[in-house]
Amino acid sequence: MTNISGTDDIIIRREGAAGFLSLNRPKAIHALTLPMVHAMTAALLEWRDDPEVRAVIIDHAEGRGFCSGGDIAFLRNSALNDGGVSGRQFFHDEYQLNHLIFTYEKPVVAFMDGITMGGGVGISQPARFHVATENTRYAMPETGIGLFPDVGGGWYLSRLPGRIGQFLALTGARFDGAECKWAGLATHYLPHEALAEAKARIAQGHEPGQVLAALSATPPHARIEDNALRIAKHFASDRYEDILASLSTDDSEWAAKELATLQTKSPQTCKVALRQLAESLMCADFAANMAMEYRIASRVLTLPDFAEGVRAVIVDKDNTPQWNPATPEGVTDDLIANIFAALPAAEEWKPL
């Protein structure tokens, strides 16, 4: 099969009735670069009008993990060196790809077999079918690096039951495949060993939904279900201080652990995430959600917490970020309002 992507970091090919977008940056756990985003977008646009392509499969070529996120080092470099110009371009084009997948007329099947985080969620969650396995490790860990759960996270997380979305957005908790299926973050649960057969049948022209249903397995018990009532109770408020206060009144080991986790996160981006999820519920459609998230991304990219969070967690790995503001109380309503404010008309995000 010929790779038609123009970059070695993604293998784009046709196999029977299916178009394949196979991420191929194993050393970076397939983190998305701008050339990968552009190659995927171009292929989807080409296949949209090709009658021989009846379904699209998004997977990874080799190595552990489906996709660990976006190119964080690139984004930090942009924040520090070009005022965020190239970073905003990355977000703009990545969000157009997310929206294209969400609105694609042909069935798209994303196989979340392994680490699926950040940008990996952005290219799997909008697919008509997103498949978890026993290898799935799903998270939106952005508040830990001073970012926020973007790539459509506002849309998906806000619509989960029982405040599970707010819990995921704030804590960056990792869900396994069974937990994804239980929470509604996966349409199907397949054992890893069944994936090759599923892809082969889809490539043979079989309807993807029927293929996935036939090969699905019953997932094991979802551990998060045991804490669902606690999450619904303690994460009920859209006010970050209320969530911290609620957890602090619970003397359970679970509450202590979640409170300790939250105290490592950027107070600014935790407040951003809560407002993002609340406002997403008022968005008329996915495009409106992505326009909102682009406004947030344009501002958060160049605020101090992002460069500092990436420094602490990814560059120096000392895990001692100095957040600015340092406390939830220090994050003013005015700061949050400015982050969410409309951009100049010519700079607003628009779908392809």
Give the closest residue to 178 by CA, choosing from 225, 139, 212: 225
Q: Is residue 59 part of a domain?
A: yes
- Catalytic residue numbers? 70, 119, 142, 150
Q: 36 or 7: which carries more pLDDT confidence?
A: 36
Question: What pLDDT does residue 256 have?
Answer: 98
Question: Which pLDDT score, from 0 to 100, does residue 62 have?
Answer: 82
Per-residue pLDDT at 251 exceeds 60: yes
CATH number at residue 52: 3.90.226.10
What is the number of residues in the chain? 352
CA distance 332 to 57: 44
Q: What angle do CA 218, 221, 227 make, to 5 degrees?
A: 145
Task: Report the distance separating Cα 37 and Cα 21, nearest Å.
Answer: 11
Our count of domains for the chain comes to 1
Q: Return contacts of 281-286, CB within 8 angstroms, 24+ apart.
A: 281/158, 281/159, 283/154, 283/155, 286/99, 286/102, 286/103, 286/126, 286/152, 286/155
Alpha-carbon span 75 to 10, nearest angstrom? 20
Domain annotation covers residue 73: yes
Query: Given the DSSP bridges, would you call strands 137-139 and 175-176 parallel, antiparallel or unpaired?
Result: antiparallel
Does the residue 39 lie in any domain?
Answer: yes
In a domain, 1, yes or no: no
Q: Is residue 340 part of a domain?
A: yes
Structure-block tokens of residue 274: 């809560």
Helix (H) or strand (E) holding 56: strand 55-60
pLDDT confidence band for 63 (50 / 70 / 90) = confident
Spacing of C-alpha 70 from chain mean position: 9
> What is the token pair recorded at 270?
């935790």
| pLDDT per residue as tens digits for the range 269-327 | 999 999 999 999 999 999 999 999 999 999 999 999 999 999 999 999 999 999 999 99
pLDDT tens across 188-234, in order?
999 999 999 999 999 999 999 999 999 999 999 999 999 999 999 99
Task: Give domain status of residue 146, yes or no.
Answer: yes
**Helix ranges, the chain (H):** 34-48, 72-81, 85-102, 119-124, 153-158, 164-171, 177-183, 195-203, 208-215, 228-234, 240-248, 253-262, 267-280, 286-300, 304-310, 333-340
Kindly state whether residue 5 falls inside one of the protein's structural domains.
Answer: no
Do strands 188-189 and 10-15 pair parallel, antiparallel, or not at all (unpaired)?
A: unpaired
- pTM of the prediction? 0.97
Name, in order, each residue with C-beta under 8 angstroms of 222's C-beta and a sequence gap of 6 or more. Answer: 178, 179, 181, 182, 183
State which residues form the domain around 56: 10-347
pLDDT of residue 290: 98
Is 3 a domain residue?
A: no
